[in-house]
């Protein structure tokens, strides 16, 4: 669906250049929600703006549905962009236009007949839950309502791709959840490919199928969210995940708490149906070790149940190692916590 090949973006000229993207490759499948996560300045906003050529790459190719956008002339590129919706962190609504007119704006630019515009805008108002707000102005709306207008406007031209540039970072947690649920519903209802840029791991965890981690203009890790979340390989990825799960604070507490030389602190992660099975209790009965649960959570990675325990095992070193081996063999992810 979307393919980036050797994409490089450099700002400035001569000696005053700033690299934003460096020889970046990325593939996104049709109908998936693909997340890109990175710290500020990593290049993620440049990346998403290169996908629809709002930023033209210095070199490389951008393919969507088999068409290389970098090879298109101005008119053909504008036509292609109509099938690529985009929503923004700060909404970018027309302050002097009503909700209805904001949503209708792209259709009027495309010279769509007014009767068709009315039908389409009414459909979108219903989709995003703003039927009662059609004649209000942006200043009369909450942040979440403004973003719903932005989503409706981005969908007005019936796009194949929806680009979301930090679409929830200006919202409170409760509103963020409602917007993410709306995006997930849109994805499932219309099989719409969504590319979502964020610096928040919980956003990736909530709705994304796959994720890429961007750092200093390059992709340092990518894969299915569960795989990347459970087995992060790059230090930047581990930093995002440990900050999200308060890993460092827990580790300090574990190491400071009462323990003996035969104690071992372990993080154990469960995925899918294993989250609700009594694997831990059955295993320690077999090996004879004692354990204390220091912290535990159950959540979801998109719609897949996910659990995580911080456990201290006490017993003979051989028995503890046997316990870890058995848990691993039963499909759990086991990580010894080290300072």
User: From CA 143, how far away is CA 151, in angstroms rounded?
Assistant: 12
Phi-psi region of 237 (alpha: psi -120 to 50; beta: other; left: phi over 0): alpha
**Residue located via tokens 């970098």:** 70
Q: Are 35 and 196 in contact (CB under 8 A)?
A: yes
Strand, coil or helix: what is 67?
Answer: strand
pLDDT exceeds cutoff 50 at 20: yes
Find the mean pLDDT for residues 54-76. Answer: 96
- Sign of the Cα torsion 139, 143, 145, 149 reads positive
Q: pTM here?
A: 0.86
How many Cβ atoms from other residues are within 10 Å of residue 36's Cβ?
28
Q: Residue 86: phi, psi to the nearest 5?
A: -145, 135
Q: Give the helix ranges, DSSP H, for the chain.
A: 44-51, 74-81, 99-109, 114-127, 143-155, 173-190, 201-207, 225-230, 235-244, 247-256, 279-287, 317-329
- Short-list 51, 32, 14, 50, CA closest to 207: 32
For the stretch 178-217, pLDDT in tens is: 999 999 999 999 999 999 999 998 899 999 999 999 999 9
pLDDT exceeds cutoff 50 at 142: yes
The per-residue pLDDT of the chain, averaged, comes to 91
For the ranges 87-96, 160-169, 228-237, the lowest mean pLDDT is seen at: 228-237
User: From CA 250, how far away is CA 160, in angstroms rounded?
Assistant: 43
- Short-list 19, 20, 17, 26, CA closest to 43: 20
Could you tell me how many residues make up the chain?
Answer: 339
User: From CA 77, how far away is CA 195, in angstroms rounded?
Assistant: 19
pLDDT exceeds cutoff 60 at 245: no
- Please report the pLDDT score of residue 112 as a whole number: 96
- Please report the pLDDT score of residue 275 as a whole number: 79
> And the tokens for 289?
């070790």
Q: How do the domains of the chain map onto residue ranges?
A: 2-232, 245-336
Find the mean pLDDT for residues 164-174. Answer: 92
Strand, coil or helix: what is 114?
Answer: helix
Find the mean pLDDT for residues 13-25. Answer: 92
pLDDT exceeds cutoff 60 at 252: no
pLDDT exceeds cutoff 70 at 77: yes
Q: H/E element holding 86?
A: strand 84-88
Strand, coil or helix: what is 202?
Answer: helix
Q: H/E element holding 339?
A: none
pLDDT exceeds cutoff 90 at 13: no
Find the mean pLDDT for residues 43-51. Answer: 96
> And the tokens for 253?
């507490």
pLDDT exceeds cutoff 50 at 247: no
> And the tokens for 90?
């700060």
For the stretch 108-136, pLDDT in tens is: 999 999 999 999 999 999 999 999 999 99
Find the mean pLDDT for residues 149-165. Answer: 97
CATH topology assigned to domain 245-336? Alpha-Beta Plaits (3.30.70)
- Sign of the Cα torsion 232, 237, 240, 243 reads positive
User: From CA 298, how far away is CA 210, in angstroms rounded?
Assistant: 20
- Please report the pLDDT score of residue 270 as a whole number: 85
- Please report the pLDDT score of residue 305 as a whole number: 84
Categorize the per-residue pLDDT at 84 as very low, low, confident or very high, splitting at 50, 70 and 90.
very high
152 beta partners: none
User: From CA 237, how far away is CA 228, in angstroms rounded?
Assistant: 8
Torsion of CA 208, 82, 109, 72, to 10 degrees: 140
Return the higher-pLDDT residue of 245 and 39: 39
- Our CA angle for 245, 46, 80, nearest 5°, is 120
Which residues are CB-neighbours of 286 under 8 A, at least 6 positions away?
326
Find the mean pLDDT for residues 302-317. Answer: 87
Q: What is the CATH number of domain 2-232?
A: 3.40.50.300
Terminal Cα-to-Cα distance of the chain (whole angstroms)? 43
For the stretch 58-68, pLDDT in tens is: 999 999 999 99
């Amino acid at each position: 669906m979307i393919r980036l090949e050797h994409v490089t973006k450099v700002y400035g000229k001569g000696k005053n250049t700033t690299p934003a993207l460096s020889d970046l490759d990325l593939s996104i499948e049709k109908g998936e929600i693909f997340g890109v996560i990175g710290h500020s300045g990593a290049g993620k906003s440049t990346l998403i703006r290169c996908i629809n050529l709002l930023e033209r790459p210095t070199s490389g190719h951008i393919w969507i549905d088999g068409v290389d956008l970098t090879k298109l002339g101005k008119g053909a590129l504008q036509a292609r962009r109509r099938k690529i919706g985009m929503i923004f962190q700060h909404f970018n609504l027309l302050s002097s236009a009503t909700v209805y007119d904001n949503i209708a704006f792209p259709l009027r630019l495309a010279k769509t007949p007014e009767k068709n515009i009315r039908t389409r805008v009414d459909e979108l108002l219903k989709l995003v839950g703003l039927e009662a707000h059609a004649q209000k102005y942006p200043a009369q709306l909450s942040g979440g309502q403004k973003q719903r207008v932005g989503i409706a406007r981005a969908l007005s031209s019936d796009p194949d791709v929806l680009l979301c540039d930090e679409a929830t970072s200006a919202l409170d947690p409760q509103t963020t959840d409602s917007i993410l649920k709306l995006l997930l519903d849109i994805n499932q209802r219309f099989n719409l490919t969504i590319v979502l840029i964020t610096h928040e791991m919980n956003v990736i965890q909530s709705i994304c199928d796959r994720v890429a981690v961007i750092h200093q203009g390059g992709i340092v890790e990518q894969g299915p969210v569960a795989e990347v979340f459970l087995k992060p390989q790059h230090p930047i990825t581990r930093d995002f995940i440990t900050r999200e799960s308060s890993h460092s604070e827990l580790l300090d507490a574990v190491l400071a708490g009462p323990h003996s030389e035969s104690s071992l602190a372990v993080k154990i992660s469960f995925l899918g149906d294993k989250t609700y099975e009594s694997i831990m209790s059955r295993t320690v009965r077999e090996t004879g070790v004692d354990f204390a649960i220091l912290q535990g959570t159950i959540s979801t990675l998109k719609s897949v149940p996910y659990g995580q325990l911080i456990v201290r095992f006490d017993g003979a070193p051989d028995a503890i190692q046997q316990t870890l081996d058995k848990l691993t063999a039963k499909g759990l992810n086991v990580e010894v916590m080290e300072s």
